[in-house]
Amino acid sequence: MNRRELLAAIAPAAVAGFVLPQSVVAADKVVASVADRTSSIRITKLTATPMQRKVFLKMETNHGVTGWGEIDQLEPYVAAALARSLFELLDNENPTRIEHLWQKIYRSHRDMRGGPFMTHTLAGIDMALWDITGKLWGVPAYRLMGGPTRDKVRVYPSATATKVGAGPEEFSGTPADIERHVRNIAGARKQVGPDGMVMFDAHCALPPPFLIQLASAIQPYDVTYIEEPAVPGNIEVFKRIKQHVKIPLAIGEQARTIWEVIPYLQERVGDFLQVDCAHTGGMTQLRKIAILGEAYQVPITPHCVTTDLGMSASLHVSASVPLFLIHEYYPSITPKDLIRKSWEVDKDGYASLPTGVGLGCEVNEVRLAELAKQPSKPEWPTRGRLKDGSIADY
């Protein structure tokens, strides 16, 4: 029996003197209205706008509800062209069928399945779908994921949590090389104190022998985890590092989708899943990865170098899953006056939960158009070189 049939069945009781609460009647009207919109809504347009090193996606519908998503860490003009091409799979589809559309895009191009261009672009599309669906139902996206499991989300860098980074290094370090990193980590520990968190980002740039040397030297400083300990592609390298390094390892920044995360969990080489919402296929896939991690008691510690738009999407997932440690966030990445968000970070380094509908963000389209006209230089030509001029991982 549906809601309308139930109301019809109990109508005689109202005549006999029992009055149905007005709140129930009003709720029935709201549900009927929303249900009609969610069943008849269709995607009509997708606009991809390269902006510096990002691509902003605007998804429009026949009901005037608009969703936004962000593509990150790709060559932006290629990513924008791919998003426009993928629109043929979205045209006239119902945007609330988020999982269905994710699978349709991911599986439809059999030779493009996986890889950064597919999953990063799909991530932006996925964010926009969640944004539209939350707006239709009038709730933050995390409400559609089972509701919040926490009241706030811890972020870094902050006064109590910081990260030290590393650039390319030789395969074996000299005492001076090791000491340089030790000084940086010791300084970070002093900065946050004994109650704070210090993380070390190896950035896939420290070859295993060097990392093994360094890990022993920094162990006294209680590093929370070593991020990106090795270049993905060979699980045996991670197993080797895990055997020799006692500091917890955070893996997954370059792991795209549940299928790439599985080996890390099965081989027990990752203590934290540092996956990125904008890399791994969006909110849909990030949530699945978090659930996989839960089965192995491995929390997520999301990587994030997006603007506040992509950060908001990642916050919704982080708010809704049980096993979570801390979230990366750099306010300076977002150009001034581009995004108006519905959450803030307090003095202790905690982000409040988004309060708006959908992703809880508004994009200033005039400002976006201005920024899109400004050229940006690619970042890769100046990175990844060793002393002898050879190419290094970064």
Strand-pairing partners, residue 156, are 328
Tell me how far apart the alpha carbons of residues 155 and 326 are, in angstroms, rounded to a whole number. 5
Q: What's the rounded Cα separation, in Å, for the pair 158 and 151?
A: 18
The mean pLDDT of 44-66, rounded to a whole number, is: 97
The answer on 48 and 190 residing in a single domain is: no
Judged by average pLDDT, the poorest of 13-22, 144-153, 295-304, 333-342 is: 13-22
How would residue 112 be classed by pLDDT, with cut points 50, 70 and 90?
Answer: confident
Q: Extract the tokens encoding 221.
A: 């400083």
Query: 228 and 85 in one domain?
Result: no
Helix pair angle (208-218, 175-192), 10° resolution: 50
* Nearest in space to 285 (alpha carbons), one of 309, 314, 327: 314
- Identify the sign of the CA torsion 222, 225, 231, 233: positive
CA–CA separation, 125 vs 141, rounded Å? Answer: 15
Q: Is residue 378 domain-resident?
A: no
User: What's the token pair of residue 22?
Assistant: 């007005």
Report the mean per-residue pLDDT for the chain: 91
The pLDDT of residue 23 is above 70 = no
Confidence of residue 18 (pLDDT cuts 50, 70, 90): very low
What's the CATH number where 106 sits? Answer: 3.30.390.10
- Boundary of a domain, candidates 121, 141, 161: 141
| Across 1-5, 115-119, 123-127, 336-340, least confident range | 1-5
Domain-embedded: residue 37: no
pLDDT tens by residue, 188-202 = 999 999 999 999 999
Tell whether 392 is covered by a domain: no
Asked if 309 and 160 sit in the same domain, the reply is yes
d(CA 260, CA 254): 9
234, 266 Cβ separation under 8 angstroms: no
The mean per-residue pLDDT over the stretch 85-89 comes to: 97
Q: Residue 370 and residue 338: Cα distance in Å, rounded? A: 10
Please indicate, yes or no, whether residues 176 and 115 belong to a single structural domain of this protein.
Answer: no
Find the domain containing 83 and state its range.
43-141
Q: Say if residue 76 is in the same domain as residue 98.
A: yes
Q: Is the pLDDT of residue 107 over 90?
A: yes
Averaged pLDDT for residues 83-103: 98
- State yes or no: pLDDT of 376 exceeds 70: yes
Q: What is the pLDDT of residue 5?
A: 56
Domain boundary among 141, 156, 189: 141
The total number of structural domains in the chain stands at: 2
In the sheet that holds 225-227, the strands lie side by side as 161-165, 197-201, 225-227, 249-251, 272-273
User: Are residues 280 and 326 located together in one domain of the fold?
Assistant: yes
d(CA 58, CA 266): 38
In Å, the largest CA–CA distance within the chain is: 92
The pLDDT confidence band at residue 43, using thresholds 50, 70 and 90, is: very high
Q: Identify whether 393 is part of a domain.
A: no
Residues 180 and 319 in one domain: yes
User: Do 278 and 341 belong together in one domain?
Assistant: yes
pLDDT value of residue 35:
67
Assess if residue 89 is contained within a domain: yes
Looking at the structure, do residues 163 and 130 belong to the same domain, yes or no?
no
Q: For residue 112, count other CB atoms closer than 10 A to its CB.
A: 16
In a domain, 35, yes or no: no
Query: pLDDT category, 19, cuts 50, 70, 90?
Result: very low
Of the residues 117, 141, 165, which one is the last residue of a structural domain?
141
Could you tell me if 371 and 346 are in contact, meaning their C-beta atoms sit under 8 angstroms apart?
no
Q: What is the pLDDT of residue 4?
A: 53
Indicate if 118 and 155 belong to the same structural domain.
no
Three-state SS across the chain? CCHHHHHHHHHHHHHCCCCCCHHHHHHHHHHHHHHHHHHHCCEEEEEEEEECCEEEEEEEECCCCCEEEEECCCCHHHHHHHHHHHHHHCCCCCCCCHHHHHHHHHHHCCCCCCCHHHHHHHHHHHHHHHHHHHHHHCCEHHHHHCCCCCCEEEEECECCEEEEECCCCCCCCCHHHHHHHHHHHHHHHHHHCCCCEEEEECCCCCCHHHHHHHHHHHHHHCCCEEECCCCCCCHHHHHHHHHHCCCCEEECCCCCCHHHHHHHHHCCCCCEECCECCCCCCHHHHHHHHHHHHHCCCCECCECCCCHHHHHHHHHHHHHCCCECCEECCHHHCCCCCEEECCCECCCCEEECCCCCECCEEECHHHHHHHHCCCCCCCHHHCCECCCCCECCC
CA distance 155 to 295: 24
Q: Identify which of 58, 71, 145, 60 has the alpha carbon closest to the alpha carbon of residue 95.
A: 60
Q: What are phi and psi of 18, to 5 degrees?
A: -95, 125
Residues 206, 169: contact at Cβ < 8 Å? yes
Give yes or no for residue 17 having a pLDDT over 80: no
**Do 49 and 118 fall within a single domain?**
yes
What is the domain-level CATH number for residue 209?
3.20.20.120
Q: What is the pLDDT of residue 7?
A: 45
Q: Give yes or no for a contact between 257 and 119, defined as CB atoms under 8 angstroms apart.
A: yes
Identity of the residue numbered 144 = L
Q: Are residues 203 and 308 in the same domain?
A: yes
Whether residue 16 is predicted with pLDDT greater than 50 in this model: the reply is: no
183 Cβ contact list (under 8 Å, min separation 6): none
Task: Assess if residue 254 is contained within a domain.
Answer: yes
Asked if residue 282 belongs to a domain, the reply is yes
Per-residue pLDDT at 12 exceeds 50 = no
